[in-house]
Structure 1
Amino acid sequence: MSLPEVLLWQILRKQPGHIKFRRQHPIGRYILDFYVLELKLGIEIDGEAHGMDDRPERDEARDRWLASQGIRVLRIAATDVLADPAAVADSIVRLCTAS
């Protein structure tokens, strides 16, 4: 796990809002950074590499395949997590409880 993922996991593993988050969860040939099974919500923390070379196209293809499986994907910039992991976790929990 990358540093932003570790920082976010330290909060999400405590099941805020009684939401069970899974980390490094496999779906098909992909591994999601975090996953909420009950909501079919994948959470991806995107670092700098996600904007380089063919990575945007690969991410788009991955998101399309996950959508075909009924899974929504929330992408969050790693810089946002590094700046304020608690705020990012809070926004994820609010999204989950609003669903």
Structure 2
Amino acid sequence: MKIYYNPKLKELARQLRNNATKSEIKLWQQLKGKRMYGYDFHRQKPIDNYIVDFFCNELKLAIECDRYSHQLPEVWDKDVIKENRLNELGIAVLRFSDEMIMNDISNVIRSIENYITNFEANK
């Protein structure tokens, strides 16, 4: 399935990149420059009617950094709708809390590496 790039979200994505959270910056340090097994990740990528925190087209993988507000029912419901739509487009979604990224980055990286290993094994 073709992944639709929404140009209307381009400016908002730029603003989000320029105002990244500490956890987004920390995770980006691990993903940028093809540091993750040579895969190219992008920050704040518009897809369909959503913006994902990190995206690798080759892996069809979105990574979301969830702040505390994502535990609120109204935000959680939107996250579920967003994730379902991304799944319909053939995109897998990994979610990590800000707390996990800030306090346990090694397990976050291990989870991403596990996804990549499984992806490569099933090519």
Question: Would the TM-score normalized by the shorter structure come out above 0.5?
Answer: yes
Unaligned runs of 5+ in 2: 1-19
In structure 1, what is the equivalent of residue 32 of structure 2?
13
- After superposing on structure 2, the runs of 4+ consecutive aligned residues of structure 1 that deviate more than 4 Å are none
Cα shift at 1:53: 4.1
How many angstroms apart in 2 are the aligned matches of 1:56 and 1:37?
25
Where structure 1 has 5 or more consecutive residues not aligned to the other structure, the ranges are none
How far did residue 87 of structure 1 move? Answer: 3.6
| Alpha-carbon separation, structure 1, partners of 2:26 and 2:106 | 9
Number of matched residues?
99
Q: Percent identity?
A: 34
Match of 2:76 in 1: 56
Question: 2:24 is aligned with what amino acid?
Answer: E
Provide the residue aligned with 2:89 in structure 1.
69
Structure (1/2) with the larger strand percentage: 1
TM-score by length of 1: 0.90
Change (3 A) 1:14 1:94: farther
Output the CA distance in 1 between the equivalents of 2:90 and 2:54: 16
Q: What is the root-mean-square deviation of aligned Cα atoms in Å?
A: 1.4
